[in-house]
Structures are given as structure tokens and as C-alpha cells.
Structure 1
Amino acid sequence: MNYKSTQYEDILISTTCFETRVAILENSIIQELHIEHNMQRNIVGNIFIGKVIRVLPGLQSAFIDIGLDKAAFIHISDFRENKHENTMTPSIEKFIFPGETILVQVIKDQIGTKGARVSTQISIAGRMLVYLPFDNCLGVSQKIKSEIDREKIKTRVQSLITNNRGGFIIRTQAEEATDEEISADLKYLNTLWENIIGTAKSNRSPSLIYKDLDLPHKTLRDMVTQKTRAINIDSGHVANNLLNWAKIFNPSITEKIHYYDKETSIFEAANIDQEINTALSKKVELKSGGYLIIEETEALTSIDVNTGGFVGGKNFKDTIFRTNLEATQAIARQLRLRNLGGIIIVDFIDMDDQDHKKAVLKELQKSISKDRTKITLSEFSQLGLVEMTRKRTRESLTNQLCEPCNICQSRGVIKTSRTICYEILREIVKESKQFNPKEFRIIASQKIIDMFLEESQYLTIIEDQIKKPISLIVENGYYQEQYDIALL
């Protein structure tokens, strides 16, 4: 294949008995990482028969039992009937009531303590089309920008839809597809929906009636583009399965599917594991010497841009501008790699020049345009901040691979050894007023004991004050904030 453009993609699929990992590389640099644990499969796209367990009119929402450990959540905006309502403030009680059986599809995975979010607006993705069985529209993917191209593909697909009920959204892959391929996709989606309806009729709530494709097959369906150069898989079994699937549903990509059988692991050879570790840290180094600080919270994600050691501009104003420009590409990459969602606040280095601000914003818009996930971008605020929202459908990389720190109690910092020492001394004074032991014994880590020895004069003062001896014992198994005070 001849690649006239310098932009190309490689897809790496690594599978084990416990997980599947997919890396999307652009020009050999990782941009996206998808992980699916076999014990915790992504459930976005799955369809359930659920039972309404609680309706909350004040929040215009309801909780639905779909058979998972947490009840699913649905908002009034997620009802397909509501899309055709003329009234400004419809009540959720008009659509749903406790005890009702309802067909829903997961649109957002369980994240943290929140249950999955579901919708009655069912959609089933094929390779060329997305089928909307309860709608009657014919839409075109927003990624097809040209109005002429949009009308052209819409007219072509419309001519192929004959006896189909429901609506469709035309995907970008349909632009390069033949009429035969689009017709085959139509037939596949119709057959799939008939099977789903049949399963729903023979099952009671709560139950799963349709499971979306697993990650490897979903990768072939949703992530392979014209830029994809190769799809390398480190499992012969999975490679054969994907090849057989591609022969039926996407024959044009069969030559791109390869079995990777080298001794060095596929992720190690591409330095992916090191990139994952970097993506779990707060600091991201820029090539110029500047850096980003990325802080994730439950409410939002903040990204702070800093010049660091960069002094490459003609003057300080130019240095700031160059650093901010470079940061835009790094920010776009980190959004995808870390799968950051929700509200994102970017604090660029302050710029007075309005042309510089426009150039930075334009470069950021260009960089995020490659993202498969919907992003909205605001102008610079009066405080010099840029606000973005990125659609959140699954856990971020950090939430997927990490858990709250037991040592710092999720604060992200721990108390200094001096702070802990003074805390212990205050507690001893307090205990001395309630108890009358012969001796107080402090059991703590080596660093805490060293601090006590360094500031031994305070121990002496407290001993004189409480008129009791205080002894010190090192416990190597204790972390810095952990200690015990024994009353002997």
C-alpha cells in the first residue's frame, strides 16, 4: 500500500487469559489505550430487560435493576419518547413507573460508586451503519464534514433501504463502501435486531439480552480507518478469529491483520508499558523542557502548563507562546491516552498577545479534532483558562488501573515526619491526663524515630511535664503516618 501522507496508524492487540489490551499508535507513538479485563467486561452497548425500582420526580430520573451489583440510572433526556415532546418540562412519571419492565441499553459504564447510565434510545452499531430500531430518521456521521459528501452518501443509502423499519446513522466507513457492502450491513443489523426481540420475549427482568462485541472485534469494527497500516495480534487464536470475522464483515482489512509471534512481547517492543506508567503520573514532560501537571478529581480535571527549563524563544513572551503551542498537542494526546472525561480546565501560561491566544486555541482545536470522542472547546476566559468537556463513557486509565492510596487516604500527600512527631506528643499529653501508666512507648517508622532523636529536647520537656518516661521503638513495617502509643 502506498502511503502518500505521513500520517498512519498501527493497532496492537495483546491478549491473555485475564485481559485484552489495545493500543492505537499514530506514527509509532501511542495515542489511545483500551483495556478490558475478562472479569470486568465493558458493558456499554449491552441491552437489558430491566425493572424500575425507584422514580425520582424531583431529579427527573429513575433507578433500574438490570441485574448488576449497582442499580442503573436513567434521566428523562434518555427516553426516546421525550425527543418528540413539545412541552418544555415533561415529567418523568409520564414515561415510567415503579415495577415496570423496560428495555434499556447501557450508554455509560459504571464509574466509581455510580451505577451504569442507560437509555431507551436503542442503537446497534454495524460497520457501515448504526441501526435505530425505534426511530425513523436517516442521519450522517458528524465526521463527514462536506455537505456535498453528506448528501451524496445519504441519497445512496436511502436508495438501499427498502423494507427496513427504524432509522439509521451513516458511519464514515460507508463513504468508501460498495452498495453490496452497505446492503450486507443492513441485513446483518436487521437479523441481529430480530434475534434481540426474540430473546427479550423469552426472558424475564432483570436479564441481559444482547452483549456487544468484545474489545478485539469492537476494535476492528470501530477503530480501523483508511490510515490503519497494520493490525498486529499476539495470539494466534484471536488473530484467526478476527481474520474470519473480517472476511465476512470487512474483507478490505484482512491483509492488514497479522499474527505477532516474536519473543519480545508486543507491548514491550513498542514501549507501551513505559508509556502507561508515564500516563499514570501527574507530570508530563514536553520536549522543549516545559511540562504539564495533570490533576484528576471527581468533579473535573485540571491541566497546568509550565515553561520549566525551556528558554528557546527570542524573548520571554516568545518562550511562553512556543511552550503553549507545544502543550496543545501534548494535551490532546493525554486526553486520549488517559481517557479523561467530563469537565477539563486548561491553565495555559498567561499570554497578553491576542494573536498568540488565537493561535494557541486554533492549534488546540486542530489537535483534539483527531479524537474519536466528542469534545467541546471554549474560548479563553477572563482568567486565561480554557474549558473543555469530553464525553465520558468509561473509566479513565487512572481509575481503571489504580485505587485510592491507603497511606495518604487519597489526599495525594502525606504528613511530614515533624508533623507526625508533634501529633504524637500532643496525644501523649492528652493520654497522660486520663491514664496513669508507668511509661509511654512510641512505636513508629524509622523516619519518625529519627525525627524524635533529632528534636529530643521536646521529648525531655514533655517527660518533665507529664512526669513519665517516654521510650522509642522502631517498627520497620510501619509507613510514615502509622504509629502506636503503648501505655506500660
Structure 2
Amino acid sequence: MLKELVVNAAEHETRVAVLENGNIVELFMERGDESNITGNIYKGRVQRVLPGMQAAFVDIGLNQAAFLYVDDILDDTTAELAQRFEQENDTDGEEDSDDSDIKEEELSPPAGWKSARTTDCPIEDLITEGQEILVQISKSPIGTKGPRVTTHISLPGRFMVLMPTVDHIGISKRIVDEKERTRLKELLLSFREDTFGYIFRTAAQGIQEKTLKKEISFLNKTWEDIQKKNKTVSAPCLVYRDLTVTFRAVRDLLNDEADKLIIDSREGYNNVLDFLEKLMPDLKVSVEHYTGVEPIFDAYNIEGDIARALKRKVWLKSGGYIIIEQTEALVAIDVNTGRYVGKHNFEETIVKTNLEAVKEIAYQIRLRNIGGIIIIDFIDMKKSQHREKVMSHLNEALKKDKSQTNVLPLSELGLVQMTRKRVRKNLTRSLCEPCFYCNGDGMLLSGKSICHKIYRDLLNEASDMMGNKFTVKVHPEIAQLLHGEEKGLISSLEIKVNSPIAIYPEPHYHIEEYHIFETLVK
């Protein structure tokens, strides 16, 4: 499969598209604002400790306070528990199922840490209000929720992830050769002098001692610099800023995920080459400077796919379609046959539509970066073998997605419940905002409904008014209705209130807005 990274580096915005066989499957974006701060390290001050929630709010200098859960707090007691668990269970870090940093996944301490600590150490015994602590962003702000932070610091490199707060060695699950796993662990133990934790990333497979030592030295120096700055600054303060989205793509996706990077900025092109020469001189990949007249995302047909991924309705090639509705708590995906009528029988039409929808749903979930609870409403299928076939195809399609997913069996109602790990904003939240006209409702009252609402309100208010003439100011479209198709409402009202009613259009009014005035005419 041909995989490429296409980078559009503008002055105030950088976009990185991951292409598979020429089709965009993921989009990473970075702007000059503070919307994507995952991986950054701050010196923060504890604002409030909430024993009832076993959580705390931490001021890190942003508009929203950061949320710190008890499981994400490190102290001497928790470190001892982690070491004890590791000795008793001889874990080698298999919990690290996804090591791609550009996915912004959390790198957790050893399994078992959380259950041991939450029982013995309530949050009020771990931190106090006003205390200064070093925290790392594990989840960027999403909607009205502030960022989530952890004290379990992790510094990802090309081959390793340094975890300076815990003595633990982990190996990516993607390295399946047991001999290689053993070799890597023994190689690290042979020269490791500190008690820091390390996780081997997938790219470390086949790594030589010299390269490994160089990477560890670089990560340790970075941690030393962070500690020095932490001692000299006052909270709240940014202590360490993670790599830009372009350099994260180079570090985490080139070679393993893609063989080529195309960038449309000469300065960005030179910076990427310099980055590769200094930190990854052994990496053999193609880096190309795009010089075409047409914008790079248009040349690779990416803009159209992004626009399609922002639509509520997505058409399938057969003529069917899916509807994607995002709510605060979950995302609902509905499958419909649409214009597809099939060739033989109704059951076959349904199965083909569902199977085509499975592929598109998995693609849209990944491209839109939809997370949290997802409910998929497939068209009802009578035969069990058809339901099993659809579920098999869904699970297979989701394997391409590196974000952690959990899919439950198809219910009797034809519903599939699934979850997908969410650590950053989805595409819609990143690129869109609620409609200023409907305030995000997605619906407006119909013209006739507004006319009848005016009728009821005027009739209700007429008895309390002292005037003998009424003026109603409305949106021009409503005025046209009241002077035309709904003229009978006004005539009926004039008889009921025994007063003339004048309708005036106001171009600047919202279509649902109207005001009733009374006038005393002698």
C-alpha cells in the first residue's frame, strides 16, 4: 500500500494529510492558537481538590483549568506500588498497544498501578490546594471541557519513549518476535544506569546499541532541561513545548507509516531535511518540495475529501447513503438504501448496502477522528449469516485504525454500539463552529409556524394593551407570508381584537424574531 504525507505549511496554519493509495485517511492540523497542546508540559498550581470526584483542577495558565484525576497523580507511594507490581507480575510492557505519538495517545504506567493506588491513596492525601506540580497534557481541550493532565511524564523519541517517573521497561506489541523483544530488553539493561522507565516503539525493531544510546542520551538531556526550568519558573508556566505537527509526522509516521513526504514550503522543506540529518540520519525516505502552481491539497484532491467529511450525509457509490449525527454524548450513524434498488431481492439489496456502508463508516470515523460512544444503525437483516458477515467486515475495516476501539455485537434491533478513544478534537470541532443563525440546533421554525405563533401571542397580549392599533415587525419572508398566503390570520385577528394590524418587514431580523407594538390612535 502506497502511503504518503502531504504537508500544507501556511504562515499561520500547518496541515498534514496521511494518504493511503492516494486517499486521505487522517488529517492533523496545527494553528497559532492553543487548541492542540497535547504533550506540552506545564508547571501548574492546584486550584481546587474535589474529594467527592477524586480529582482536582490545576491552573496551567490557559483560559480553562486543567483536570487532574487521582489515577494520574504520582508520589512516592505510587512509585513503590508500581515497582512492587512489576516485580510480582514480571510485566514487560505489553499494555503499550499503540506507540504512535502523532495519534496523541496516552502512555500509561504499568498495569495494576491505578487499582492499587486509588484504594490506598485518596486524592486529598496526595495534593493540596495551592501546591505547585509538574503536569503534562494528556488530552487537549474538547468543547467546553478543559485539558486533562497527568503527572506521569512521557517524552517520545524516534525509537523510545522515556518515562522518568517510573522504573519500567515496555515493548510495543507490534514487535511480535520474542527473540527480538528479549534482545531489546537485555540490550537496554546492559547499559542503563538510571531508574527511568522506557518503552520501545515499533521503529526500534533491529536497532543497534550505538543508535539506542544516542536516543536515550537525547531524551535524558531533554528531561534534565525540563527539570532545570521547572526549578527556576513560577506557576503557572509552560515548561516544555512538544514538536510541531510537521516534525511529529516526520518522527512518528515516516518510514513506519509512510515512505514519502511532500511539503509546499521551501523553508519547511529545509527544516525537515535538517531535522532528519540531526536526529534521524539513518532514515531512508523521500522528502520532496512541491513547487506546483495549484495548491498542494487541491493537486492531491484532498480539499474535496475534507469538505465531504464535514457533511452530515455521505453518499455511497451504489446510491445508498449514511447520516452522521454528532451530539454532546455520542455519535449516531444511520445507514439507508437511498437510491439503490438492487437487482435481485430486497434482502440482497440490504446486505450490499450495509457492507458498502461498513467500509465508508470505518473510513469516516478515522478521517473525522470521531471518538467516544458511537451507535451505528444498520438496515435490519433477517438472516444471521448476513449479520455475522457485516460485523466481520466492520471489525476488519476498523483494524486499519490505530486508535483503540471496542465493538459490541449487533443487537436484535440492528444497532452496533462501539467506542473509540478520544484524545483530541474531531474534524468537525476543529474546522467548524455552531451556526450563528440556528445556534447549532440545525432546525428553524417554519414560516407558517412563526405566523401562527404571532397570531397566538398577539391574541394573548391584546387584552392587556391600551392601544387601538397594532404594529408587528417581522422578517421580510414572514411579512410576505402574512400579506399573502397567511393573510387570513391577520384578517381574523383584526376582527377578534377589534383593531387594525400593520405588518412591517425588518431585513435585519432573524427569521424567528418579531416584535408587537401598540399605538393609541385618536
TM category (shorter chain) comes to over 0.9
* Equivalent residue number for residue 446 of structure 2: 416
Secondary structure of 2:195's counterpart equals: coil
Q: Is the 8 A contact 1:138 1:154 kept in 2?
A: no
Secondary structure of 1:228's counterpart equals: coil
Alignment of structure 1 residues 394-413 onto 2, 5 Å? 394-413=424-443
Q: CA deviation at 1:176?
A: 4.9
Alignment of structure 1 residues 457-468 onto 2, 5 Å? 457-468=488-499
Q: What is the identity, as a one-letter code, of the residue corresponding to 1:414?
A: L
* Equivalent residue number for residue 57 of structure 1: 51
- Residues 1:46 and 2:40 aligned together: yes
Q: Is the 8 A contact 1:14 1:21 kept in 2?
A: yes
**How far apart, in 2, do the equivalents of 1:480 and 1:306 lie?**
32
Unaligned runs of 5+ in 1: 1-6
Q: Among the aligned pairs, what percent are the same residue?
A: 39
Deviation string 1:439-488 (CA, Å, 9 cap, x unpaired) is 32233233212322202111101011112212222333434223333434
Q: CA deviation at 1:152?
A: 4.3
* Equivalent residue number for residue 149 of structure 2: 118
* Equivalent residue number for residue 4 of structure 1: none
* Equivalent residue number for residue 308 of structure 1: 338
Deviation string 1:40-72 (CA, Å, 9 cap, x unpaired) is 351111111111111111111111111111111
Cα distance, 1:280–1:487 mapped onto 2, change above 3 Å = farther
| Worse-matched range after superposition: 55-64 or 342-351 | 342-351
Deviation string 1:353-399 (CA, Å, 9 cap, x unpaired) is 22222222222122111123222222223432212211111111111
Q: Is the 8 A contact 2:170 2:200 kept in 1?
A: yes
* Equivalent residue number for residue 3 of structure 1: none
* Equivalent residue number for residue 203 of structure 1: 233
Q: What is the identity, as a one-letter code, of the residue corresponding to 2:14?
A: T
- Residues 1:282 and 2:308 aligned together: no
Cα distance, 1:242–1:149 mapped onto 2, change above 3 Å = farther
Unaligned runs of 5+ in 2: 79-112
* Equivalent residue number for residue 171 of structure 1: 201
**How far apart, in 1, do the equivalents of 2:422 and 2:3 lie?**
24
Q: CA deviation at 1:124?
A: 0.6
- Give the counterpart of 1:97 among 128, 132, 137: 128
- Give the counterpart of 1:270 among 274, 297, 300: 300
**How far apart, in 2, do the equivalents of 1:222 and 1:487 lie?**
69
Task: Give the structure-1-normalised TM-score.
Answer: 0.93
Q: What is the identity, as a one-letter code, of the residue corresponding to 2:161?
A: V
- Residues 1:27 and 2:21 aligned together: yes
Q: What is the identity, as a one-letter code, of the residue corresponding to 1:31?
A: V
**How far apart, in 2, do the equivalents of 1:72 and 1:88 lie?**
20
**How far apart, in 2, do the equivalents of 1:280 and 1:182 lie?**
43
- Residues 1:444 and 2:438 aligned together: no
Secondary structure of 1:454's counterpart equals: coil
Cα distance, 1:220–1:467 mapped onto 2, change above 3 Å = same
Q: CA deviation at 1:421?
A: 0.8
Q: Is the 8 A contact 1:131 1:169 kept in 2?
A: yes
* Equivalent residue number for residue 328 of structure 1: 358
Q: CA deviation at 1:255?
A: 4.2
| Worse-matched range after superposition: 109-118 or 244-253 | 244-253
Q: CA deviation at 1:223?
A: 2.3
Cα distance, 1:313–1:155 mapped onto 2, change above 3 Å = farther
Q: CA deviation at 1:113?
A: 1.5
- Residues 1:8 and 2:37 aligned together: no
Cα distance, 1:35–1:263 mapped onto 2, change above 3 Å = same
Q: Is the 8 A contact 1:230 1:256 kept in 2?
A: yes
Secondary structure of 2:205's counterpart equals: helix
Q: Is the 8 A contact 1:247 1:254 kept in 2?
A: no
Q: CA deviation at 1:423?
A: 1.1
- Residues 1:223 and 2:217 aligned together: no
**How far apart, in 2, do the equivalents of 1:339 and 1:14 lie?**
19
- Give the counterpart of 1:476 among 495, 501, 507: 507
Deviation string 1:209-236 (CA, Å, 9 cap, x unpaired) is 1110111111111222445232111110
Q: Is the 8 A contact 1:15 1:21 kept in 2?
A: yes
Secondary structure of 2:259's counterpart equals: strand
Q: CA deviation at 1:431?
A: 2.8
Q: Is the 8 A contact 1:140 1:150 kept in 2?
A: no
Task: Give the structure-2-normalised TM-score.
Answer: 0.87
Cα distance, 1:150–1:403 mapped onto 2, change above 3 Å = farther
* Equivalent residue number for residue 390 of structure 2: 360
* Equivalent residue number for residue 134 of structure 1: 165
Q: What is the identity, as a one-letter code, of the residue corresponding to 1:17?
A: E
Secondary structure of 1:251's counterpart equals: coil
- Give the counterpart of 2:271 among 241, 255, 259: 241
**How far apart, in 1, do the equivalents of 2:282 and 2:478 lie?**
65
Secondary structure of 2:408's counterpart equals: strand
- Residues 1:78 and 2:109 aligned together: no
**How far apart, in 2, do the equivalents of 1:361 and 1:36 lie?**
36
**How far apart, in 2, do the equivalents of 1:186 and 1:237 lie?**
29
**How far apart, in 2, do the equivalents of 1:343 and 1:218 lie?**
28
* Aligned alpha-carbon RMSD (Å): 2.0
Q: Is the 8 A contact 1:52 1:97 kept in 2?
A: yes
- Residues 1:155 and 2:185 aligned together: yes
| Worse-matched range after superposition: 265-274 or 245-254 | 245-254
Q: What is the identity, as a one-letter code, of the residue corresponding to 2:204?
A: A
Cα distance, 1:110–1:84 mapped onto 2, change above 3 Å = closer
**How far apart, in 2, do the equivalents of 1:178 and 1:8 lie?**
28
Q: CA deviation at 1:187?
A: 1.4
Cα distance, 1:45–1:227 mapped onto 2, change above 3 Å = closer
